[in-house]
Amino acid sequence: MDFYGFYTGKIFDAYKYLGAHMDGQGVTFRTFAPSAERVSLIGEFNGWQEQPMNKAYDGNFWECHVENAKAGEMYKYRIYRRDGQCRDHCDPYGFGAELRPNTASFIRDMDKYVFSDEAWMQARSDCRNKPLNIYEAHLGSFRKPGEEADAWYSYEELGEILIPYLKEKGYNYLEVMPLNEYPSDESWGYQGTGFFSPTARYGTADQLKVFVDKCHQNGIGVIMDFVPVHFAVDDYALAQYDGTALYEYPNSAVGVSEWGSCNFMHSRGEVRSFLQSAANYWLTEYHMDGLRMDAISRAIYWQGSPERGVNMNAVDFLKYMNQGLKRLHPTAILAAEDSTSYPGVTKAVSEGGLGFDYKWDMGWMNDTLNYFRMAPEYRSRNYHKLTFSMMYYYDDRFILPLSHDEVVHGKATILQKMSGQYEEKFPQARAFYMYMYAHPGKKLNFMGNEIGQFREWDEKREQDWNLLDYPIHQSFLRFMEDLNGIYRDHPALYEKDYETEGFRWLDCHQEEKCIYAFERVSRKERIAAVFNFSDREQKEYLLTVPGAKALQPLLLSEWKVYGGGEQNSSKKLQGTEGRFLLSLQPYSARYYLVE
């Protein structure tokens, strides 16, 4: 290992030195604990009896070699602090961990599994000019093998269930909530204890590799949530690891996050190397296709508050990490969950940006959902909530997210957010989703949204698949499947997402009627999208599409097959000098191919 690089926060491969490594003669264990008085190794291979570890390199590292240790066995480090106390810790660089409430690490042979996804890896891209339709999932509650809260399918079993569903419904990327080990089910993985350990809830490291490999062989990319900002407070893990604040800030004013977890101290080179190595580890060892980085606003600003100022050490860390990851994995996707207006999040580091490929458009999400929550009589006065997004859209490269955060903690599900009673919600949801998929930006939808889930997400229960026994939910899922197919098959909806010529308003001044119209353009096609978000039929609406001779219906939200009142028809609309007369049903949306 490059020790100078480790201390200065420059390396991405610390996990190849630290942790438990098999060498053919046994296993070498190493840990970084500069303030420890002494460290012992305990594990299954020595009957959990203390085996002293020796100081290595400059005395800040501890190591020992065990000849009879083998893959699959458990171990811990017993760290004696300078105050005379001792704690048993899991390995910060451990490649496997026990299921909570147990806390040991596992020895893993990381070279055993051989991937068969060469074709995928060679063809992979960041999807800048391609469709990126992401299905966000919590693996433990997509489907469950039983009703118990801790009944879970394995990674391999999930591959047999989830992959065919994604292919059939038209998603080309899966985003999984954090798979690092974590103690509390309710944290969903966002407060981690094992940053190099795939959670034991669903199996082993090799089983996760099988899952990712099968995804790739079926044309599905995998993005994993990664948390470089904070970690769990549990004293068997990173917190006070060697008796001092080794990974966290020593000052609680900035050391404790709003969630009660410990904030990483990004000014320390050792912490930077730890996080950079963890990020690289998931991309390298598991062939993950990208990382969605959580709570980036809490790294940019002290405690996430612009009033407290920019945390320049953390910003520099993000820049260096992203630049290094893109150098090592040019086609991997790096996405930021950031709700602030900090400039240049998706600009290259060389241009003064943070170096992410994409940023979640939280402003679009909030404005749009708030608009659809309103009763229709209030939408006129809030008409420009839906036009505002294009005022700032080209400042960054955005993903439009309808994530797990929007369907929990009393916020209601996406379908429930729609104004009105039960029957009114479905046509509005169809129109809403057509607006989302026509709007520039890549797409992300959380599991359950596509079936019209009414119950808020609960990590202890699987999705309410029984809803599909009801025709109205079946029709909604059919609509979402067709919409995904339209998005995938029509370059106008994705090819020029981040170029100004890829979008233009056709009509954004129908405040009283709540009609919107815009055009999406690619090199080979044009699509006109028209929306009526009022509760009234809008008769004889004149739509002007410059240069158009005819409009070919591509998708109408009010078709009967989706539960609407219109017969499916592909009959072209003929225009005069680009002008077309339409009658728009209440709460409806339409896509037309422009000829």
Distance CA 283, CA 223 (A): 9
Least confident of 231-240, 252-261, 442-451: 252-261
pLDDT of amino acid 402? 98
Instruction: Give the pLDDT confidence of 460-479 residue by residue, as tens digits.
Output: 999 999 999 999 999 999 99
Distance CA 544, CA 562 (A): 27
Q: Cα angle at 434 between 432 and 439, to 5 degrees?
A: 95
- Residues 547-567: what's their mean pLDDT? 94
Angle between helices 205-217 and 155-169 (to 10 degrees): 20
Query: Strand 230-231 relative to strand 180-181: parallel, antiparallel, unpaired?
Result: unpaired
Distance CA 360, CA 152 (A): 29
Distances (CA, A) of 258 to 247, 249, 298, 336: 18, 14, 10, 19
Judge whether 3-106 and 500-594 match in fold: yes
| SS3 sequence of 16-57 | HCCEEEECCCCEEEEEECCCCCEEEEEEHHHCCCCEECEEEC
- Residues 480-501: what's their mean pLDDT? 98
Residue boundaries of the structural domains of the chain: 3-106, 500-594
Active site residue 294: yes
Arithmetic mean of pLDDT over the chain:
96
Q: What is the CATH number of domain 500-594?
A: 2.60.40.1180
Distance CA 537, CA 584 (A): 6
Name the catalytic one among 73, 337, 357, 495. Answer: 337
Which band of pLDDT confidence, cut at 50, 70 and 90, is reported for residue 238? very high
377 in helix, strand or coil?
Answer: helix
Instruction: Give the pLDDT confidence of 262-305 residue by residue, as tens digits.
Output: 999 999 999 999 999 999 999 999 999 999 999 999 999 999 98
Distance CA 569, CA 552 (A): 10
Residue 420 burial class via C-beta count within 10 angstroms: exposed 0-12, middle 13-18, buried 19 and up:
middle
Name the catalytic one among 181, 294, 357, 450. Answer: 294
Distance of CA 120 to the CA centre of its chain: 20
Angle between helices 362-373 and 422-438 (to 10 degrees): 150
Distance CA 113, CA 211 (A): 12
Q: What is the CATH number of domain 3-106?
A: 2.60.40.10
pTM of the model: 0.96
pLDDT of amino acid 253? 84
Active site residue 73: no
Query: Which residue in the block uniquely carries the two structure tokens 């070498």?
Result: 28
Both tokens assigned to 247? 């990974």
pLDDT higher than threshold 90 for residue 50 = yes
Distance CA 495, CA 424 (A): 33
